[in-house]
Amino acid sequence: MKKRNRRAAAAVMAVAALLVTACGGGSSNSTTAAGASAAADTSGSETGSSAGTSSAAPAEGTKCQDTLHIAVQQQAPSLDLHKNSSLIARQMMDGTVFEKLVTLNSQAEAVPELAESYELSDDARTLTFKLRHGVKFHDGSEMTADDVVASMNRWIEGFSTASTMLGDARFEKVDDDTVKITADTSLLLLPPMIAGSAQPAAITTAAACKDEDDNGFMKQYIGTGPYKFTEWVQDQYVRLDRFDDYVPYGNKGEEMDGWAGYKSAPTQTLEYDIVPDQATASAGLESGQYDIIWNVSSDDYPRLEANPALSVASAQQGSVALIFNHKQGLGANQSFRQAVNTALNCDEILTAAFGSGYELGSCYMDSGQAFWQTDAGSEYYNQHDVDKAKQLLTDAGYSGDTFRILCSNLGGSDKMAVAMKSELEAVGITVDLNIVDWATLTDYRKDPSLYDMYITTFAEVPVPTLKLYYGTNYPGWSVDDKLQSMFKDMTEATTMDDAKAKWEALQGYSWEYLPIICPGHYLGQYAWKKELTGVNMYSGGPKFWNAGIPLA
Q: Are residues 358 and 498 in the same domain?
A: yes
Average pLDDT over residues 50-65: 58
Average pLDDT over residues 471-499: 92
Calpha distance 52→105 (Å, rounded): 12
What CATH number is attached to the domain comprising 370?
3.10.105.10
Domain boundary among 184, 205, 224: 224
Query: Does 381 map to a domain?
Result: yes
Q: Are residues 403 and 510 in the same domain?
A: yes
Return the SS3 of 462: coil
pLDDT digits (tens, 9 = 90+) for 82-128: 998 788 899 999 999 999 999 999 888 899 999 999 999 999 999 99
Q: Are residues 324 and 211 in the same domain?
A: no
Q: What is the mean pLDDT of the chain?
A: 88
Q: Which residue has the higher pLDDT, 511 or 75?
A: 511
Domain boundary among 168, 203, 224: 224
What CATH number is attached to the domain comprising 119?
3.90.76.10
The dihedrals phi and psi of 263, each to the nearest 5 degrees, come to -115, 125
Query: Does 364 map to a domain?
Result: yes
* pLDDT of residue 81 exceeding 90: yes
Query: Does 55 map to a domain?
Result: no
Q: Which residue has the higher pLDDT, 502 or 49?
A: 502
Query: Does 7 map to a domain?
Result: no
- Tell me the longest C-alpha to C-alpha distance in the chain: 73
Query: Does 507 map to a domain?
Result: yes
| Residue 71: closest CA among 263, 238, 303, 315 | 238
Domain coverage including residue 498: 317-522
Q: Are residues 207 and 333 in the same domain?
A: no
Q: Are residues 219 and 349 in the same domain?
A: no
pLDDT digits (tens, 9 = 90+) for 349-380: 999 999 888 999 999 998 877 789 999 999 99
Q: Are residues 322 and 426 in the same domain?
A: yes
Q: Are residues 373 and 514 in the same domain?
A: yes
Strand partners, 311: 528
* pLDDT of residue 2 exceeding 50: no
Q: Are residues 193 and 330 in the same domain?
A: no
* pLDDT of residue 22 exceeding 90: no
Contacts of residue 186, Cβ cutoff 8 Å, sequence gap at least 6: 124, 125, 491, 492, 493, 494
Domain boundary among 204, 224, 244: 224
Say if residue 17 is exposed, middle or buried (CB neighbours under 10 Å; 0-12, 13-18, 19+): exposed
Q: Are residues 215 and 342 in the same domain?
A: no
Query: Does 486 map to a domain?
Result: yes
Q: Which amino acid type is present at position 276?
A: P
pLDDT category of residue 5 using cuts at 50, 70 and 90: very low
Q: Are residues 488 and 381 in the same domain?
A: yes
Query: Does 293 map to a domain?
Result: no
Q: Which residue stretches of 5-55 are H helix?
A: 7-19
Contacts of residue 539, Cβ cutoff 8 Å, sequence gap at least 6: 53, 104, 108, 196, 258, 259, 317, 368, 459, 460
Q: Are residues 217 and 322 in the same domain?
A: no
Counting the structural domains of the chain, the total is: 2
Among the listed ranges 145-149, 276-280, 428-432, which one has the minimum average pLDDT value?
276-280
* pLDDT of residue 12 exceeding 80: no
Among positive and negative, which fits the CA dihedral 96, 98, 101, 104? negative
Query: Does 285 map to a domain?
Result: no
Calpha distance 196→51 (Å, rounded): 20
* pLDDT of residue 6 exceeding 90: no
* pLDDT of residue 407 exceeding 50: yes
pLDDT category of residue 60 using cuts at 50, 70 and 90: low
Write the secondary structure of 192-228 as one string of H (helix), E (strand) and C (coil): HHHHHCCCCCCCCCHHHHHCECCCCCECCCCCCCCEE
Calpha distance 157→170 (Å, rounded): 9
The predicted structure's pLDDT at residue 27 = 31
